[in-house]
Amino acid sequence: MNGIDYKSKLDEAILQSDVVKIFDNLLTVAVEAGASDIHIEPLENYCRIRIRIDGILEELVQYPKNIHESIISKFKIESGQMRPDEKRVPQDARVSSVTLTNKEIDLRANTLPSVWWECLVMRIVDKSKKIPKLEELGIEGSNKNIIFRHLKYPNGIILMTWPTGSGKTTTLYACLDYVNKTEVNIITYEDPVENKMPGLNQAQIRSDIGFTFANGLRGGLRQDPDIMMVGEIRDRETLDMAMESAMTGHLVFSTVHTNSSAETITRVYNLWAQPYMLVGTFNLVMAERLVRRVCDHCKIQTSVKDDPQYIYARESFRNFDKEALKKEILSRGISQQQRNDFVNNALIYVGSGKDPIMGDKCAVCGGSWYKGRVGLFEMMDYTDELKTLLLEGKSAFEVESVALQRGMINLERDGIFKIIKGMTTLDEVYRYVKAKFSKE
């Protein structure tokens, strides 16, 4: 932190009830800690500020209730988009700011009138963060072959499914960065434009004045594009336009709000697309979740023999074609030892929070067991076999089960390979794929 302790400065600002100083230092602390969100919340007897780091909320500071109102009012006034006197309904604002460490950020803020007063939550977009290369995201094994193959196709749709905070924006930008070359024209329709990338023609959607995703795509076809990205498909019109663009020789990237690649098939049908249209345009559907990475500095092996999640994990490979599995293990660089540790001895790596030599709190993860995050990826490659099943009217579930037999890597399988490699834990993986079990 450039030698300056902004957290102490924040504490000091709270003691002085200096709202401007509180905001400046709070933003700086959060951005420097790599937080994605800031929560400013009143409770019954006091207020607190929490920040979300690597997907998990942490309490940063508490402060007395008497300065809460001025904190919220100050933000509302500064944003220029919220009414300070309106305290009964939620309000939204988008503002740009600069931290004390000179980092440009965008904030997407929302207030919520809770029973104790208004809460303010801010999503941070750190514009100084570089777009990682696709190779750095943790896409491994057959998934890696699939994505690189599809990025070379001249037409069709590549769709990403997403729950919020899943990392899809980063992956989408990394894909665009990969295909970004002088000889192709790339147009994007975004809401909001989170990263400005040189070489791309990026447009901000304005649905309030009729510039919607669907209208953007329609007009975009006259901009002589090769590749188009449309922020989100949430209605039939946008889906129709995306399919039409794909059918007329364009590569189209987009996202859809579902939990898995199989669920996406159902979602697309619910938007009135016919199976033949899906088969004719969809190249690849991918899903992603970010899980916490085990701290390399303090990790130790532990037995998970009695953990029910271990049984689930082994079960998920039951129908995996033997040859495909062998190839997958090989291409991920998993050693015989790593495989034995997991399969025969039920051993996995977890953080211990303790320094391996000194025995005191691990300085790398601060005793939290985890450091940073890694993506779990699921890719449904629309092979001829899957397309035939879809045309025969098979359900999304049946199509998925055939794909899994053939060796499709879903979020769960990708997670397990990453557990075997000591990158993450059963708890992390099943926190994201547990939906599957709650149905049972």
Q: Which of 127, 257, 297, 394 binds Zn ion (CB under 5 A)?
A: 297
- CB of 296 vs Zn ion, minimal distance in Å: 8
Q: Which is nearer to Zn ion, 76 or 371 (CB)?
A: 371
Q: Considering the complex, state which of residue 13 and residue 295 has its C-beta at the smaller distance from Zn ion.
A: 295
Structure tokens at 268: 């697309």
Q: How far is the CB of 371 from Zn ion (least distance, A)?
A: 6
Distance of CA 157 to the CA centre of its chain: 20
CB nearer to Zn ion: give 297 or 327: 297
Residue 370 CB, shortest distance to Zn ion, in Å, is 8
Neighbours of 365 (CB within 10 A): 22
If the CB atoms of residues 154 and 366 are measured against Zn ion, the closer one turns out to be 366
CA distances, 209 to each of 89, 190, 205 (Å): 24, 15, 9
- Helix, coil or strand: residue 440: coil
139 contributes a contact to Zn ion by CB under 5 A: no
Q: What is the 3-state secondary structure (H, E, C) of 344-400?
A: CCCEEEEECCECCCCCCECCCCCCCCEEEEEEEEEEEECCHHHHHHHHCCCCHHHHH
Residue list 172-231, contact with Zn ion (CB under 5 A) = none
> Closer CB to Zn ion, residue 308 or residue 366?
366
Q: Nearest approach, Cβ of 364 to Zn ion (angstroms)?
A: 5
Q: Beta strands of 127-239 (E only): which ranges?
A: 156-161, 186-190, 201-204, 227-230
Using CB under 5 A as the binding rule, whether residue 298 contacts Zn ion is answered as: yes
Q: Is 423 in the site for Zn ion (CB under 5 A)?
A: no
The number of residues that bind Zn ion (CB under 5 A) is 6
**Minimum distance, C-beta of residue 349 to Zn ion, in the bound complex (Å):** 11
CB of 360: closest distance to Zn ion in angstroms? Answer: 11
Q: Which is nearer to Zn ion, 265 or 365 (CB)?
A: 365
Instruction: Tell whether residue 146 is a contact of Zn ion (CB under 5 A).
Output: no
Binding mask 337-376 for Zn ion (x = CB under 5 A): -------------------------x-xx-----------
Q: In the numeric block, which tokens belong to residue 231?
A: 């922020």
Q: How far apart are CA 271 and CA 249, in angstroms?
A: 22
- φ, ψ (nearest 5 deg) of residue 186: -115, 125
Q: Which stretch binds Zn ion (CB under 5 A): 2-10, 230-238, 291-299, 306-314?
A: 291-299
User: Least distance in Å: CB of 373 to Zn ion?
Assistant: 15
Residues 421 and 337 sit within 8 Å (Cβ to Cβ): no
Considering beta carbons, is residue 101 or 302 the nearer one to Zn ion?
302
Q: How far is the CB of 55 from Zn ion (least distance, A)?
A: 17
Measured distance CA(179)–CA(187) in Å, rounded? 12
Say which residues have a Cβ less than 8 Å from residue 76's Cβ, sequence separation at least 6.
82, 83, 84, 91, 93, 111
Residue from the set 295, 376, 411, 433 that interacts with Zn ion by CB under 5 A? 295
Distance CA 302, CA 304 (A): 7
Sequence letter at residue 378: E
Q: Which of these ranges, 172-180, 199-207, 297-305, 322-330, lies near Zn ion under the rule CB under 5 A?
A: 297-305
- Residues forming the site for Zn ion (CB under 5 A): 295, 297-298, 362, 364-365
